[in-house]
Amino acid sequence: MPLYAAYGSNLDPHRMMERCPHSILRTTGWLLGWRLTFGGEDLGWDGALATIVEDPLEQVFVAVYDVTEEDESTLDGWESADTGLYRKTKVRVTTMLGEQVAWAYVLDAYEGGLPSASYLGILAEAADAADAPADYVEALRNRPCRSIGH
């Protein structure tokens, strides 16, 4: 079964259970050499969208799920991979179970722009629900965000 590395709102196991009821959480871990960032501000309905980019000095907390074929198709719809907004890329996740190869969604747009405060709140809550370290969750909450009305 393919493995999926969730770094955004799908970090939340309850959200993933609703979206992908046949897929189970395997473990959590880190994408070493990757950075959480935002892009496609003109493509999102509420500011820039989350994505990851390679960065040798950074790391991103992820939840690793075993995803069924049926759930993968559903998830592609949720993440707009079926429209080309996001594409899949293979990543290596460092976990307590060892290294795991998984796929993650990467925004197919230029990096830049600010997410909304509500979107950052969703990401922080999802990271908290996945038991991300407190400093990681706090850093999400304190990221710069888009002003209301822009």
**For the chain, what are the domain ranges?**
3-141
Q: Choosing from 41, 58, 70, 79, which is the catalytic residue?
A: 79
Dihedral in degrees, nearest 10, Cα atoms 106, 118, 146, 126:
-40
- Let me know if 60 is exposed, middle or buried by CB neighbors in 10 A (0-12, 13-18, 19+): buried
Q: Which parts are annotated binding residues?
A: 4-9, 119
Q: What is the pLDDT of residue 148?
A: 61
Binding residues for substrate: 4-9, 119
- Which CATH topology does 3-141 take? Hypothetical upf0131 protein ytfp (3.10.490)
C-alpha pair distances (Å), 58 with each of 24, 30, 61, 99: 27, 10, 10, 17
- Specify the pLDDT at position 41: 82
The rounded percent of the chain whose pLDDT value lies above 70 is 97
Annotated catalytic residue 69: no
User: Is pLDDT above 90 for 45?
Assistant: no
pLDDT at 150 exceeding the cut of 60:
no
